[in-house]
Amino acid sequence: MAAELVVMGLGHVGLPLSRAAVSAGLATAGYDVSRPVVHGLTDGRSHVGGVDDADVAAMLRAGFHATDDPAVLDGAQTVVICVPTGLTDKGLPDLSAVEDAAAVVAARLHPGMLVVLESTSYPGTTEDVVRPLLERGSGLRAGEDFHLAYSPQRIDPGNPTWDVRNTPKIVSGRTALCAKHAVAFYSRFVDQLVVARGTREAEMAKLLENTYRYVNIALVDEVALFCHETGIDIWDVLHCAASKPFGFAPFSPGPGVGGHCIPVDPRYLAARAESQGFAFRTLAAAQDVLSRMPDHVVERALAILTKTAGRPEGARALLLGVTYKPDVADIRETPARQVAAGLLAAGVEVSYHDPYVPQFTVGGTPLPRTENLRDALDRTDVAILLQDHACYARETLGRARCALLDTRGKAVGSRVTLL
């Protein structure tokens, strides 16, 4: 029996989407080009934070199955493309996964099918990249023979409050009828839908959401750099500013940005703008600030080691939390890697503690990992709090015998140095 829904790409977006659809009673299948992902899900193992093994087991019992066979698309009513959109080695948008997925769909496209792109990309991707591939490969026309839509993902890994169902979802279509079919589909398992005027508006809205965060994080980071130079307590500044009930949205400084969205999405916007002769000066300034933060952390740590150990060479540094987000097992684009590389280049012996990351490599070489936090704090010269995991209790950090560089404004103590 053909699946009602096939989700292409079973990663941080596709798997939660599949779970929500299965929970709503949709006959759902998942397609992924990674055999380890497919085999793991078939055996009931999740590889995505926020979706545990019990969730996968429940999905399997409800009829979900994962495969790397494109024949699963045959007869599907809806196909949702959730493949990753990253950057090339030159920092430009990489749509190869989207193009490959569209080609696979095109070979199995049939009249009446709804095809939705959820992957984040620049305005015009659905219309100028995906549509031609679908039409050329199938001989069918979007908006006439099949329905084409764009609905940007809004997945927040590790968020216990907002999930696929209760997070408002933007929906758009190439035509009004396409949008109507997309609304009918998503309304089966999403509580609130927001219909955009067109696919370009929906694509732009997604980029604006993350660019807003990108720019504001950069602003707060630069304020933190200024406060460090002038002896102002940035954390008290933020505490006071956040008390304003209107006109101010609080953001926190840190060692740099990570994850898939924040470091990547603004570059899609900048690249698209540049291709059309428009320069986003705000984005360029924000990127300059954010790219400096890991090196700033390294400089602060080396200064501490020079003061406490005499010199950085041969001294020991312990990284606390190497994921890009607290209490989430995700190291995509984490600034911890750049911090570790900078310390290693200065001759520092670097190890790490993170309950969510069993292995962490820098330049292809695994860093030593410690599991006992208290013992590790006793054996190191400086600990660097990079991520505010719940396991890093304020009291434990404050009582550490080693020096502590706190990039999250959490610890208090005589040996604590704040970012």
Q: What angle do CA 213, 406, 254 make, to 5 degrees?
A: 15
Q: Which of 227, 261, 391, 402 is catalytic?
A: 261
The dihedral built from the CA positions of residue 125, 127, 131 and 132, taken in this order, carries a sign that is: negative
The dihedral built from the CA positions of residue 63, 64, 65 and 69, taken in this order, carries a sign that is: positive
What is d(CA 211, CA 273) in angstroms, rounded to the nearest whole number? 13
Do 81 and 116 meet the contact criterion of CB atoms below 8 Å apart? yes
Which residues have C-beta within 8 Å of that of residue 340, sequence separation ≥ 6?
319, 322, 350, 352, 360, 362, 367
> What's at 351, amino acid-wise?
S
Q: Three-state SS for 399?
A: coil
250-253: long-range contacts at Cβ-Cβ below 8 A with a sequence spacing of 24 or more?
251/213, 251/216, 251/217, 251/219, 251/220, 252/217, 252/220, 252/408, 252/409, 253/217, 253/220, 253/221, 253/223, 253/224, 253/293, 253/407, 253/409, 253/419
Is 261 part of the annotated catalytic residue set?
yes
Structure tokens at 206: 């997604």
DSSP letter string, 299-339: HHHHHHHHHHHSSSTT-EEEEE--SSSTT----TT-THHHH
Do 152 and 202 meet the contact criterion of CB atoms below 8 Å apart? yes
- b or e along 50-64 (b: 16 or more beta carbons within 10 Å of the residue's beta carbon)? bbeeebbeebbeeeb
> Which backbone phi and psi does 90 adopt, to 5 degrees?
-95, 5
Number of Cβ within 10 Å of residue 128's Cβ equals 12
392 closest CA partner among 334, 352, 332: 352
Active site (catalytic) residues: 261
